[in-house]
Amino acid sequence: MRTNGVNGAEQTTNGNGTSHQKGRVGRPSTVAQHSSLVVAWLREDPTLSGAEIVRRIRLGGYTGGKSAIYELSSTTRCSSDPWSSTSWRRSATRPMAR
Protein backbone atom coordinates (compact mmCIF):
# COMPACT_ATOMS: atom_id res chain seq x y z
CA MET A 1 0.00 0.00 0.00
CA ARG A 2 1.15 3.51 -0.75
CA THR A 3 -0.13 6.74 0.78
CA ASN A 4 -0.74 9.48 -1.75
CA GLY A 5 -0.57 12.32 0.80
CA VAL A 6 -4.18 13.46 0.43
CA ASN A 7 -6.20 12.85 3.60
CA GLY A 8 -4.27 9.65 4.23
CA ALA A 9 -5.78 7.91 1.20
CA GLU A 10 -3.97 4.74 0.29
CA GLN A 11 -3.62 3.20 -3.13
CA THR A 12 -4.02 -0.57 -3.00
CA THR A 13 -3.19 -3.02 -5.75
CA ASN A 14 -5.48 -6.04 -6.08
CA GLY A 15 -4.30 -9.52 -7.01
CA ASN A 16 -5.51 -9.01 -10.58
CA GLY A 17 -3.31 -5.95 -11.16
CA THR A 18 -5.99 -3.28 -10.80
CA SER A 19 -5.71 -0.61 -8.15
CA HIS A 20 -8.13 1.54 -6.21
CA GLN A 21 -7.92 4.23 -3.55
CA LYS A 22 -9.04 3.59 -0.02
CA GLY A 23 -9.82 6.99 1.52
CA ARG A 24 -10.59 8.10 5.02
CA VAL A 25 -14.16 7.96 6.22
CA GLY A 26 -15.69 10.90 8.06
CA ARG A 27 -14.66 14.48 8.58
CA PRO A 28 -11.09 15.66 7.96
CA SER A 29 -8.89 15.83 11.03
CA THR A 30 -8.51 19.27 12.61
CA VAL A 31 -5.61 18.12 14.75
CA ALA A 32 -3.56 16.83 11.79
CA GLN A 33 -2.23 20.29 10.96
CA HIS A 34 -0.74 20.50 14.48
CA SER A 35 0.78 17.01 14.51
CA SER A 36 4.31 18.20 13.69
CA LEU A 37 4.26 20.37 16.82
CA VAL A 38 3.16 17.46 19.00
CA VAL A 39 5.88 15.23 17.53
CA ALA A 40 8.52 17.90 18.20
CA TRP A 41 7.32 18.46 21.78
CA LEU A 42 7.38 14.74 22.54
CA ARG A 43 10.85 14.33 21.04
CA GLU A 44 12.03 17.18 23.25
CA ASP A 45 10.29 15.85 26.38
CA PRO A 46 8.80 12.32 26.14
CA THR A 47 7.26 12.65 29.62
CA LEU A 48 5.13 15.64 28.60
CA SER A 49 1.58 15.16 29.91
CA GLY A 50 -1.46 15.06 27.68
CA ALA A 51 -2.92 18.04 29.54
CA GLU A 52 0.18 20.10 28.77
CA ILE A 53 -0.02 19.14 25.10
CA VAL A 54 -3.69 20.25 25.06
CA ARG A 55 -2.75 23.55 26.70
CA ARG A 56 0.08 24.26 24.25
CA ILE A 57 -1.85 23.26 21.13
CA ARG A 58 -4.81 25.44 22.13
CA LEU A 59 -2.47 28.40 22.59
CA GLY A 60 -1.48 27.75 18.96
CA GLY A 61 -5.06 28.19 17.78
CA TYR A 62 -6.50 24.65 17.90
CA THR A 63 -10.25 24.73 18.58
CA GLY A 64 -11.08 21.01 18.38
CA GLY A 65 -11.66 18.48 21.12
CA LYS A 66 -9.28 17.00 23.67
CA SER A 67 -9.76 13.37 22.70
CA ALA A 68 -8.25 13.92 19.24
CA ILE A 69 -5.16 15.45 20.86
CA TYR A 70 -4.89 12.60 23.36
CA GLU A 71 -5.16 10.05 20.55
CA LEU A 72 -2.53 11.87 18.48
CA SER A 73 -0.12 12.07 21.42
CA SER A 74 -0.74 8.42 22.30
CA THR A 75 -0.04 7.16 18.79
CA THR A 76 2.99 9.44 18.54
CA ARG A 77 4.38 8.10 21.80
CA CYS A 78 3.74 4.47 20.79
CA SER A 79 5.36 4.83 17.41
CA SER A 80 8.50 6.45 18.82
CA ASP A 81 8.87 4.35 21.99
CA PRO A 82 7.32 0.88 22.15
CA TRP A 83 7.72 0.76 25.94
CA SER A 84 5.71 3.93 26.58
CA SER A 85 2.31 2.23 26.32
CA THR A 86 0.28 2.66 29.49
CA SER A 87 -1.23 -0.83 29.10
CA TRP A 88 2.30 -2.27 29.21
CA ARG A 89 3.01 -0.33 32.39
CA ARG A 90 -0.20 -1.57 33.99
CA SER A 91 0.44 -5.19 33.07
CA ALA A 92 4.07 -4.95 34.19
CA THR A 93 3.06 -3.82 37.67
CA ARG A 94 0.43 -6.52 38.24
CA PRO A 95 1.43 -9.48 40.37
CA MET A 96 1.93 -12.66 38.39
CA ALA A 97 -0.76 -15.33 38.61
CA ARG A 98 0.25 -18.67 40.07
Q: What backbone torsions phi and psi does residue 72 show, to the nearest 5 degrees? A: -60, -45
Q: What is the pTM of this model?
A: 0.55
Has residue 95 been placed in a domain? no
Has residue 65 been placed in a domain? yes
Distance (Å, rounded) from C-alpha 73 to C-alpha 49?
9
Has residue 88 been placed in a domain? no
Has residue 21 been placed in a domain? no
Domain with 45, as residue range(s), is 30-82
Least confident window among 40-44, 46-50, 55-59, 93-97: 93-97
Has residue 39 been placed in a domain? yes
What's the number of domains the chain is made of? Answer: 1
pLDDT of residue 90: 47
Has residue 60 been placed in a domain? yes
Residue pLDDT, tens place only, 58-92: 999 999 999 999 999 888 887 655 554 444 444 45
Has residue 87 been placed in a domain? no
pLDDT of residue 94: 54
Strands 19-22 and 2-3: what pairing?
A: unpaired
